[in-house]
Amino acid sequence: MKPSREIGAFRWLTPCFLILTLSAPPVSAADTSSQARAILAKMAHATRTNNYDGTFVSIRGADTASMRIIHKTDSRGEHERLIALTGTAKEVIRRNDEVICIFPNERSVMVDKTSQQAFFGTAWRQPIEQVAALYDFSVLGGDRIAGRPAWVLGIQPKDADRYSYRLWVDTSSSLLLKSQVLDGGGSILEQLLFTALETPVVISESALQASISGEGYTWYRNETPPASSERNSGWEVGWLPRGFAMTEQEMHDMPKDKKAVKHKVFSDGLATVSVFIEKNEEQAVPVQGYSAFGALNTYSTLADGYQITVVGEVPAATVRQIATSVSPAVP
Amino acid sequence: MRSERREQISALLDGELSEREAGPLLIEMRTDPELRSAWSRYHLMSDALCQRLPDTACRDISRRVSLALEHEPTCLPMRWRLESRWKPAAGLAIAAAIAGVGFFGLNRNQLPEQVVPQASTIGSAEFHPLPIATVKWNGQPVDASSRLSAYIVNHQQFNSSPQTQGLTPYFRVVTHEAQP
C-alpha cells in the first residue's frame, strides 16, 4: 500500500519534478532517506534563523483559518508575530522565549515564558538514526507551492502507534510551504498551506509590533516556579510506543485556581505526547474519554482520585493506551 | 509405493485423473494406508503452496482424511471440505475490511468509543471536540473543558512534529476560532 501511494504521488508530480531537476541536483529514487533528512534539518534551521513574511491557511476537517506570520532573526535573537486573518484578530508576539498572546474578544493578554528548547530543533535533539529507526524518510518528488518550487518529503512510521507526515519544503529558502499529517489509512487529518511567502532581508520593527496596545485588557502572567523532582515523583507511565522517551517534566499552575498539575512530556523525536496528572477535587466533574483536534488526540481517565489526561499528535488508540497505563509508583 | 501411483494421486488431486483410472485408485486407497497418507500429504502440500494453511495447520489431517475416506466414495468432497474451512475466515476478513472502511469514515471523536471499550465508567462529562481557541486565558471559571484546553496549550510548546519544526507551534492558538 505504501509503495503504491508513493509511486502514485510521484507519478502525479513527475512533470513538476522534471522541471525541478533542471535546477536542482538529481535525487535517486532508490534511497532518498538521507537527502530527505538533510532537507528537514535545513528546514528546521531556516525556520529559526531566516527572515520571512508569509500568509498561510490551516485546514482541519471542515475548519479553515488563515493567518500571517512575520519572523525576524538578528543579533538580539528571534522576533516573531502571528496575526489571525480570519475571525477574531488574535495575535501572538514572541521575542525569544517570551510569548504574548492577545485575545481581543476576551480583552485579555497572556504572557508566558516558554522553554527556549521548544524553539530550537527539538525534533533533531535526538540522534537522527534513532528517529530513522521509527520512521522511513523519503523524497517523494517536486511540486510548486505559493509560486515557489518545493521538495515533497514523506515521513512514514514503521508501526501504527504514530502518524505519517508530508512536507513541502522550499528548494531555495528551505522554509516549510505546506504540510500534511496523515493517519494510517492515508486520510489527511491536518494541513498547512502557504499562499504567499517573502524572504525580505530587512524587516522593520513596526511590522513586529502588536496592532493592539493591550490597554484596558486583563493581563495574565504565568510565573510557574521551576519544577522540583519531589513534586513530580510518585507516578509511572507503564506503556509508551517504541522509541518514546521523557524529554521534559514540570509542574504547572492551572490558570485562576492555581492548582498544581504534573506535566510529563515524551517524544520519539517527531511526535510528542504530554501526560498531565492533577488531583481531582471531589466536587469536580472528571474529564473522561476522547477528544480530537485535527491530528491532536486526547484521552482522559481517573486513577486513584487523580485526573490523568494524555494529549498528543498520535492516534487515539495510542493516547488511550498511554493514559490507562499511568499509575501511582510503587514505593 | 510406485511412482505411477503417486502421479495418479497427484492427478486426482488436480482433478485431472480420468474416471477409468480414478475408480481402481480409490478402491486401492481404501485398503492401502500408505496411499491414503500420500493423498493427505499431497493435499497439505497443495494448501501450503497456495498459502491456504492456518497457523495450526491440520496436524491430524491424516486421520481426518481417513475418516473422510470411510464415509465418502470419492476424495473430491474432502478437498471441498478443506477449502470450506476457509470460507468463514475469508468472510471475516472481508467484514473486517468493510468495517475498516467504516472505521475511517466515522467521526474520529465517536470512533474510539465504539471500537475500544472504556477502561472504566466513572460518572463523567462526555467530551466533544473543543475549539483550541477557548484557551485558559478566557476569563471563564476553570471547568473541565477549559482545563482540557489549558492542557492542550501547555502541550503545544513542546510539540516537536515536523510541521512545527517549520512553523511556530503557537499557530494553533491563533488559527482557530472559539465555538460555543
Q: Is the dihedral of CA A141, A143, A145, A151 positive or negative?
A: positive
Whether B7 and B54 map to the same domain: the answer is yes
Using pLDDT thresholds of 50, 70 and 90, give the confidence band for residue A310. very high
Distance from CA of B159 to the nearest CA of A (A): 6
Q: Are residues B29 and B59 in the same domain?
A: yes
Strands across the sheet containing A306-312? A245-253, A260-267, A272-279, A306-312, A296-303, A289-293
> Count of H helices and E strands in chain A?
5, 20
**Same domain as B144, residue B75:** no
- Kindly state whether residues B58 and B103 are assigned to the same domain: no
pLDDT of A136 over the 70 cut: yes
Domain containing B95 equals 85-124
| Share in percent of chain A as helix, strand, coil (round to 5) | 20, 45, 35
Taking residue B4's Cβ as centre, other Cβ atoms within 10 Å add up to 8
Instruction: List the single residue in A63, A124, A254 with the smallest CB-CB distance to B176.
Output: A63
Tell whether A164 and A240 lie within a shared domain. Answer: no
Summarize pLDDT for B12-32 with one digit per residue, the tens: 877 778 888 888 888 888 888
The stretch A318-322 carries a mean pLDDT of: 96
Q: In a mutagenesis test of the A interface, which of B104, B107, B108, B121 is the best target, namely the one with the most A β-carbons within 10 Å?
A: B108
Minimal CA separation from A55 to chain B, in Å: 12
In B, minimum Cα distance to A79 occurs at B168
* Contact at CB, A110 and B137, closer than 8 angstroms: yes
Domain C-terminal end among A208, A235, A259: A208
Q: What is the dihedral of CA B125, B131, B136, B140, to 10 degrees?
A: -70
Report the b/e string of A31-66 with b at 16+ CB within 10 A: ebeebbbebbbebbebbbeebbbbbbbbbbeebebb
Residues of chain B neighbouring A187 (CB-CB closer than 8 A) = 104
Is the CB of A123 less than 8 angstroms away from the CB of B138? Answer: no
Q: Are residues B106 and B33 part of one domain?
A: no
Please report which helix (H) or strand (E) contains residue A3, including its range. Answer: helix A2-23
- A contacts of B135 (beta carbons < 8 Å): 101, 103, 110
Weakest-pLDDT range from A74-83, B31-40, B78-87: B78-87
Q: Minimal CA–CA distance to A269: which of B172, B155, B158?
A: B158
Question: Which residue of A lies nearest to B140 if distances are taken between CA atoms?
Answer: A256
| Subunit contact B148:A47, Cβ cutoff 8 A | no
> Between chains, do A252 and B154 touch, taking CB under 8 Å as contact?
yes
For residues A155 and B177, the model is more confident at: A155
User: Which chain A residues have a beta carbon less than 8 Å from that of B134?
Assistant: none
Chain A: nearest CA to B51, how far in angstroms? 20
Q: What is the dihedral of CA B48, B53, B58, B61, to 10 degrees?
A: -40
- At B145, the pLDDT band (50, 70, 90 cuts) reads low
Alpha helices in chain B (DSSP H): 3-13, 19-31, 33-49, 61-71, 76-84, 86-105, 111-115, 144-156, 162-165, 171-175
Examine the domain organization and report whether B130 and B61 are in the same domain: no
Residue A213: inside a domain, yes or no? no
Q: A170 and A112 share a domain?
A: yes
> What is the number of structural domains in chain B?
3
Do A247 and A294 have their domain in common?
yes
- Identify the CATH number of the domain in which residue A38 sits: 2.50.20.10
Question: Which residue from A82, A106, A125 is facing B138, i.e. has the nearest CB?
Answer: A106
Mean pLDDT, chain B, whole residue set: 54
Tell me whether residues A272 and B154 touch, CB distance under 8 A.
Answer: no
Query: What are the grid coordinates assigned to B30, written together?
Result: 481404501
Residues in A closer than 8 angstroms to B152, CB to CB, are: 293, 296, 298, 311
Q: State the count of interchain CB pairs (< 8 A) between A and B.
A: 242
Asked which of A179, A208, A237 is the last residue of a domain, the reply is: A208
Lowest mean pLDDT among A148-157, A167-176, A253-262, A317-326: A253-262
Q: Are A58 and B171 in contact (CB < 8 Å)?
A: yes
Q: Which of A124, A125, A185 sits opposite B104 (nearest CB)?
A: A185
**By CA distance, what is B101's nearest residue in A?**
A185
Q: Best mutation site among B124, B146, B157 for testing chain A: the one with the most A CBs within 10 Å? A: B157
pLDDT, tens only, A89-128: 888 888 887 888 887 877 878 777 765 444 434 445 556 6
Whether B164 and B103 map to the same domain: the answer is no
- How many other C-beta atoms can be found within 10 angstroms of the C-beta atom of residue A140? 24
Domain residue limits at A148: 2-208
Strand partners, A191: A59, A180
Q: Which residues contact B163 (CB under 8 A, 6 or more apart)?
A: A165, A167, A176, A179, A181, A190, A192
Q: A216 in a domain, yes or no?
A: no
Question: Quick one: pLDDT at residue B116?
Answer: 31
B171 and B157 within one domain: yes
Q: Is residue A264 part of a domain?
A: yes
Based on the fold, state whether residues A202 and A231 are members of the same structural domain. Answer: no
CA distance B175 to B96: 38
Residue A263 has pLDDT above 60, yes or no: yes
Cα separation, B103 vs B86, whole angstroms: 25
What gap in Å lies between CA A25 and CA A267, rounded to an integer? 33
Q: Which of A179-183, A221-225, B105-109 has the lowest mean pLDDT?
A: B105-109
CB B149 within 8 A of CB B136: yes
Buried/exposed B9-34: b ≥16 CB within 10 Å, e otherwise:
bbebbeeebeeeebeebbeebeeeee
Average pLDDT over residues A161-169: 95
Q: Does A222 have pLDDT greater than 90?
A: no
Q: Is the pLDDT of residue B87 over 60?
A: no
**Closest Cα of chain B to A266: distance in Å?**
9
- On chain B, the residues whose CB falls within 8 A of the CB of A106 are 137-139
User: What mean pLDDT value characterizes chain A?
Assistant: 80
Nearest of A330, A323, A331, A160 to residue A239 by alpha carbon: A323
Is the pLDDT at A150 greater than 60? The verdict is: yes
Q: Which residue has the higher pLDDT, A11 or A172?
A: A172
Tell me which chain B residue has its CA closest to the CA of residue A57: B175
More confident residue, A67 or B104: A67
User: Which of A218, A259, A309 is facing B151, going by the closest CB pair?
Assistant: A309
- Residue A42 is assigned to a structural domain of this protein: yes
- Using the beta-carbon criterion (under 8 Å), do A106 and B139 form an inter-chain contact? yes
Bridge-partner residues for A261, per DSSP?
A252
Sorted by sequence, the CB contacts under 8 Å of residue B152 that are 6+ apart come out as: A293, A296, A298, A311, B132, B172
**What integer pLDDT is reported at residue B93 of this predicted model?**
26
Q: Quick one: B153 and B119 in the same domain?
A: no
Q: Count structural domains, chain A.
A: 2
Give A18's contacts (C-beta < 8 A, 6+ positions apart): none
Contacts B150 to A, Cβ<8 Å? 252, 254-255
The pLDDT, as a whole number, for residue A94 is 87
Please tell me which residue of chain B has the smallest CA distance to A155: B162
Domain boundary (A158, A183, A208) is at A208
Dist. CA B5–CA A197, nearest whole Å:
79
CATH of the domain at A258: 3.30.200.100
User: Could you tell me the pLDDT band of residue B173, with boundaries at 50, 70 and 90?
Assistant: low
Judged by CB atoms closer than 8 Å, whether chains meet at B142 and A254 is answered as yes
What backbone phi and psi angles, to 5 degrees, belong to A315?
A: -60, 155
ipTM of the complex: 0.74
Within chain A, what is the greatest distance between any pair of CA atoms? 67
> B107 and B150 in one domain?
no
Mean pLDDT of A56-60: 88
